[in-house]
Amino acid sequence: MTQVLSPSAQKVQDALLARGFTYQVTESEQVTRTAAEAAEVVGCTVGQIAKSLVFRGVASGQPILVIASGANRVNEAQIGQHVGEPIGKANAQFVREQTGFAIGGILPLGHLQPLTIFVDQDLLQYPEIWAAAGTPHALFRLDLQDLAAMTGGRVVAVA
């Protein structure tokens, strides 16, 4: 893991500190774009990776962030029921416009636009989890109770 952070990862570190969280963003030369890659880099289970996935309301265009356990696949119909409309995957441009980050580095906080956020209830089983931190090479470890505090997300079944 490197000591000096890239500009995107530093932006995440600054956002964490600005909100009172002392978690440390780390970067690796290895890619952590997928949950499996991230788990390998930090030495945890795939389920402990909090993957941030952006969806879009089909009718409203509303941005929806689902923070899912890396072991789970998001059930779009189920999330659609929570938001009151069908949802679909967001394209890369929409993701960057809404979050300020590219796919593979989307973090749970500090987005450009307000997002409706759902947190996977399966993450509750882990005392610590890992989340993306602005690039496909950056992560930070956090305690689960802080995930809800930093996102304001609603805990639901997503799989």
Alpha carbons within 13 angstroms on the beta-carbon side of residue 81 total 7
pTM above 0.75, yes or no: yes
Per-residue pLDDT reduced to its tens digit, 59-79: 999 999 999 999 999 999 999
Helix (H), strand (E) at residue 7: helix 7-18
Provide the number of structural domains found in the chain: 1
Q: Find out whether 72 and 120 touch, Cβ atoms under 8 Å.
A: yes
* pLDDT score, position 26: 93
Among candidate residues 59, 52, 58, the one with its CA nearest the CA of residue 117: 52
Identify whether 62 is part of a domain: yes
pLDDT band at 88 (very low <50, low <70, confident <90, very high): very high
Identify whether 57 is part of a domain: yes
What is the residue range of 28's domain? 7-156
Identify whether 107 is part of a domain: yes
pLDDT band at 102 (very low <50, low <70, confident <90, very high): confident
> The domain spanning residue 88 has which CATH number?
3.90.960.10
Per-residue pLDDT reduced to its tens digit, 121-147: 999 999 899 998 988 899 999 988 888
